[in-house]
Structure 1
Amino acid sequence: YLDILADIRDRFHKDIYIELGLQTVNYDTLEKINRGHDLAQFIDAVLRIKRYGFNVTTHMIVNLPWDTMKDTIEGARILSALGVDQVKLHALYIVKNTLMAKWYQEGQFTLISAEEYADRVVNFIRHLHPDIVLQRLVGRAPKDNTLFTNWSMGWWRVQDLIDDKLDELDAHQGDLCDYLNGKAVRKFID
């Protein structure tokens, strides 16, 4: 498939963006939500795609019930180290008539608050390399097909929470992105 896409790119002089739905870097969560891949397979896919010179957009959900703030930050760090080109964030939607909907209705997990989501997004942004384009911080889903989406508030209200938190901290994308280019071994070199 990558060879075919390369041929199309070269023949028609088109930029090609390939979107991959990682959702989380947490191995256990990936298995629980039945993503059909693990983190190593995602990394392998990105590296293969980048060898062809294609752009990679990655989808992430930073409020999956089994994830922590550490997973959120590690997600930003891994995507930065891989050099993905773009990221799309959104909060978890719980779609009716799914296994996750069943778990939600049975109270098998709880969801974080909108404020905690904003905190996670802000931390993700701060750890994400500044050259990576953030296409989206909040999404939306049809109300009639979901049990949960955006804490029953408009996506713009969730966006306002994120913007307010960034302003409060005087923070911006990449201001905590200090872990690349051998930081862990620099102390042995200096």
Structure 2
Amino acid sequence: MNYKKYSEALKDKYGEKVYKIPINLPISCPNRDGKIGSGGCIFCGEIGTGFEAQSASLSVAEQLHKNIEIIAPKYHANKFIAYFQNYTNTYMALDVFEKVLNEACIENVVGLSISTRPDCITAPYLDVLKSVGLKKKVDIEIELGLQSININTLEILNRGHGLSEYIEAVMCIKTYGFTICTHLIGNLPWDTERDFYEGAKLMNVLGVDAVKIHSLYILKNTVLGIWYENDAFDMITPDAYIDRVIQFLRILKPTVVVQRLFGRAPEEDTLFCNWDMSWRKLQNQLEARMDQHGYRQGDLYTTEKIVSGGQ
């Protein structure tokens, strides 16, 4: 295996196949409701990222049971991670947060994954997560959306936070011992290749446990969509993207779990996604290229430190 795949890491940890089940809650984001900004990130649609989830009108337990009924026989999975996916899941009333976490701890759920923003990480929410994790005997993972380490790109994306907030969030979460997964977009038009590779180095330095690399997809009825239709930026080729991601993986520590390498979005809602190719086909091409050249995750990673000669 030329990189540390999430599915294999889960199987190693739990002894069998584990499937991540998305949960959709009727919540918002401080970058949408006016607290720090309005309109959200330029790539974010009205449904957020939870397009594979059940209706938010269903309870957490109902969403899990409905998806498990479909997924368990199809993928032969008996253990599950409840994935609080859509919008900012540490941006709700604290008592509601605790309630939905407990509701997600149904039979055969072995972990909770919480998707949120770096500027929405605070001790009260982490304390609740720790309490629920210990009480229900489930593992806790926090997914942080970063997308880019370039602060100028973050401003263009209207993220509403900078790099320092992300670093502070990681350092805070690590004191609780939770698993940290970071989202990065590999082909943002305003990032250089070096920006992306420095992202891998930052993951190494901070000791992040997992990464989700997305190829940029462009949703209809978004600011980014309008820019795309007006030819306001250029997209790199799929070959260039594959080469870029391979280099990222080669720099990344071999112990970091790779949860995803390509974006996924429903065709009917997108203007651009994966160059009109299947993400699976692109991933197969990436893996074949790594095999062809003998590349492996972390083969460019070095633990050498700069040592001062002064006394």
Band the TM-score falls in, shorter-chain normalisation: over 0.9
Match of 2:301 in 1: 177
Q: For the Cα contact (< 8 Å) 2:217–2:263, is it kept in 1?
A: no
Work out whether 1:25 is the aligned partner of 2:149.
Answer: yes
SS at 2:301's partner residue?
coil
Q: For the Cα contact (< 8 Å) 2:216–2:263, is it kept in 1?
A: no
Per mean C-alpha deviation after superposition, the further-off stretch among 115-124 and 133-142 is 133-142
Within 1, Cα distance between the matches of 2:234 and 2:223?
15
The CA RMSD over aligned residues, in Å, is: 1.4
Within 1, Cα distance between the matches of 2:253 and 2:263?
22
Counterpart amino acid of residue 206 in structure 2: L
Q: Which structure 2 residues correspond to residues 2-151 of structure 1 after superposition, within 5 A? A: 2-151=126-275
Within 1, Cα distance between the matches of 2:147 and 2:237?
19
Within 1, Cα distance between the matches of 2:266 and 2:243?
25
Within 1, Cα distance between the matches of 2:233 and 2:281?
24
Q: How many residues align?
A: 186
Within 1, Cα distance between the matches of 2:160 and 2:289?
34
Q: For the Cα contact (< 8 Å) 1:57–1:88, is it kept in 2?
A: yes
Percent pairwise identity: 48
SS at 2:307's partner residue?
helix
Deviation at 1:181, TM superposition (A): 5.2
Q: For the Cα contact (< 8 Å) 1:115–1:161, is it kept in 2?
A: no
Within 2, Cα distance between the matches of 1:106 and 1:185?
50
Within 1, Cα distance between the matches of 2:300 and 2:206?
17
Structure 1 unaligned blocks of 5 or more = none
Counterpart amino acid of residue 179 in structure 2: N
Structure 2 unaligned blocks of 5 or more = 1-124
Q: For the Cα contact (< 8 Å) 1:101–1:147, is it kept in 2?
A: yes
Deviation at 1:101, TM superposition (A): 0.7
SS at 1:22's partner residue?
strand
1:79-103 deviation per Cα after TM superposition (whole angstroms, max 9, x unaligned): 1111111111120010111111111
Within 2, Cα distance between the matches of 1:175 and 1:37?
32
Within 1, Cα distance between the matches of 2:291 and 2:304?
29
Larger radius of gyration: 2
Deviation at 1:160, TM superposition (A): 2.2
SS at 1:60's partner residue?
strand
